[in-house]
Amino acid sequence: MSPKTWHFNPYHQRIDEAMQLMDEPPKADTEWILFEVFVREKRGEHPVHVGALHAPDPEMAIVLAKEQYLRRGDAVQLWVVPSACITATPIEEADIFMHTTDKSYREAYGYRVAERVRHLRGEEKHG
Amino acid sequence: MSTPQTDPRYEEKLAEFEARIARGEKIEPDDWMPDEYRRQLIRLIHQHANSEVIGALPEGTWIPYAPTFKRKKALVAKVQDEVGHGLMLYRAAETLGKPREEMIEEMLAGKSKWSLVFAYPAETWADVAIIAWLIDGGAIVNQTIMATGSYAPYCRALKRIIYEESFHLKHGFDMVVTLAEGTKRQRDMLQDALNRWWEPIIMFFGPPDKLSVHTETLRRWGVKPKTNDEQRQIFLRKFVPQILDLGLTIPDPNLRYDEENDRWVYTEPDWDKFFDIIRGNGPMSKERLAVRRLAHEEGRWVREALEATGIARQLREAAVAAPTSSVVA
């Protein structure tokens, strides 16, 4: 059974008024600021970037970010940052991050010690 | 960022771009891209965003009329999700250079399209069930395929959307099964809804491949990883058996599975009707836009009041004074 008169839907009750509005072009709207949104899921973890949204100010950005990005899932904290505050390297210069020389001296895997210790122990037993 | 086609480096840039995509790498907003790639993606994502927002309307109307409190809560959650999807998709399209306000204005003015399925009325509660099961089901088939595409901000948005859509689908199926296992009147209402929605569902995936241009380029560029016909086949493969399992009849006497060619055969919809509807002549097209427009105008005082603190203007001026490099998405 369809409630064809849609008593409880205010917009459908005013459909004639709504249709009249269509004769005029839409008016220019407010312009909001873009914010990047970060969520800290659990204590001890990094805040993680989840997306972006527009808001008129940082407080509203928090309110809207909770609606948009925390409808589900866990969080202990929410950050918003105006996107204009972010400085980024250009994507086409990704090669500046290439490791061109052997920098394994900076890494634990650059040192092979276990084998040499086994040798030492072996020599002690014999000698 | 784009190199004009008269630029001698154009061919070189294009080759690099295509090689990156062929390697399975994603394109980020400030990567070089052909103008056509940018244009096609803006149009596609913009229309997808419009569809999410308009799609909230046929279902939103039923919130006060849901048969149980649990159904009402689920419907509210679904509608909230759809509007949120619109937000993320407008954002993804905006990374390609089209301002959000412009996209919304074009949608409200009827200049930018949205999916034809939302130009139909949700006449009964069974319509709400069928929409949530089969239209969202179709959307998931489409979005899962598009998420394998090349433009990273769109893929990231789709990943989040698909996760949320899985609840829509499951809940939709739950509503359909409840009606199917109900009284004769409920089962008849369900069959009637399917009868009315079947043709729009088939048309949902868009015109057949033989009517589409640019297919090969769009596939190579990762804009459209599968064609409309391919997506339609995936949908039919998945859902026809489920529909028949419920004891429902599909209102297409020609629908059958062609073993030899491994594809479903169906009555080709009237594609002229399809084009007419997406141009704004569907049964509810004008009402949908009018309702959206009225809601938008009624909310204007809230948006303006929020702007009145002046903080937005200060932040904008600060951004202009100290520009940072690169696009973030």
Cβ pair B100:A12 closer than 8 A: no
Residues of A in Cβ contact (< 8 Å) with B110: 22
pLDDT given for residue A126 in this prediction: 58
Among A14, A67, A87, beta carbon nearest to B325:
A87
Instruction: Give me the CATH code for the B10-321 domain, please.
Output: 1.20.1260.10
Amino acid of residue B206: G
Q: Is the dihedral of CA B150, B153, B159, B164 positive or negative?
A: negative
Reported for B267-274, long-range contacts at CB under 8 A and 24+ positions apart, including other chains, are B268/B208, B269/B199, B269/B202, B269/B203, B271/B203, B271/B207, B271/B208, B271/B211, B274/B116, B274/B203, B274/B207
Cβ pair A86:B290 closer than 8 A: no
pLDDT given for residue A111 in this prediction: 87
Per this entry, what is the length of chain B? 329
Tell me, yes or no, if B192 comes closer than 8 A to chain A by beta carbon.
Answer: no
- Closest CA relative to residue B160, chosen from A113, A32, A119, A72: A72
CA distance B181 to A44: 49
pLDDT given for residue A116 in this prediction: 87
- Per the DSSP assignment, residues forming a β-bridge with A40 are A77
Tell me, yes or no, if B25 comes closer than 8 A to chain A by beta carbon.
Answer: no
Tell me, yes or no, if A5 comes closer than 8 A to chain B by beta carbon.
Answer: no
Classify residue B121 by its DSSP letter: -
CA distance B46 to B40: 10
Tell me, yes or no, if B324 comes closer than 8 A to chain A by beta carbon.
Answer: yes
State pLDDT tens for residues B275-310. Answer: 999 889 999 999 999 999 999 999 999 998 988 888
Cβ pair A87:B324 closer than 8 A: yes
Tell me, yes or no, if A52 comes closer than 8 A to chain B by beta carbon.
Answer: yes
**Topology, domain A27-126:** Ubiquitin-like (UB roll) (3.10.20)
User: Chain A neighbours among B 250-279 (CB < 8 Å)?
Assistant: none
Classify residue A93 by its DSSP letter: G
Tell me, yes or no, if B83 comes closer than 8 A to chain A by beta carbon.
Answer: no
Closest-CA residue of B relative to A19 is B290
CA distance B108 to B257: 41
pLDDT given for residue A22 in this prediction: 86
Reported for B277-284, long-range contacts at CB under 8 A and 24+ positions apart, including other chains, are B277/B116, B277/B119, B278/B113, B278/B114, B278/B115, B278/B116, B279/B113, B280/B110, B282/B116, B282/B119, B282/B120, B283/B119, B283/B120, B283/B121, B284/B58, B284/B118, B284/B119, B284/B120, B284/B121
| Spans of chain A, pLDDT less than 50 | 1, 127
Cβ pair B287:A60 closer than 8 A: no
User: Chain A neighbours among B 294-313 (CB < 8 Å)?
Assistant: 294-297, 300, 303-304, 306-307, 309, 311-312
pLDDT given for residue B71 in this prediction: 97
pLDDT given for residue B329 in this prediction: 53
pLDDT given for residue A52 in this prediction: 96
How many CB atoms within 10 Å of residue B283? Answer: 11
Both tokens of residue B181? 């296992």
| Spans of chain B, pLDDT less than 70 | 1-5, 321-329
Cβ pair A51:B156 closer than 8 A: yes
Mutate to test the interface with A, among B294, B313, B325 (most CBs of A within 10 A): B294
Q: What ipTM goes with this model?
A: 0.90
Cβ pair A88:B326 closer than 8 A: yes
Residues of A in Cβ contact (< 8 Å) with B295: 11
Cβ pair B293:A15 closer than 8 A: no
pLDDT given for residue A101 in this prediction: 80
User: Chain B neighbours among A 56-95 (CB < 8 Å)?
Assistant: 56-58, 60, 67-68, 71-72, 82-92
Among B77, B322, B328, beta carbon nearest to A36:
B328
Residues of B in Cβ contact (< 8 Å) with A6: 61
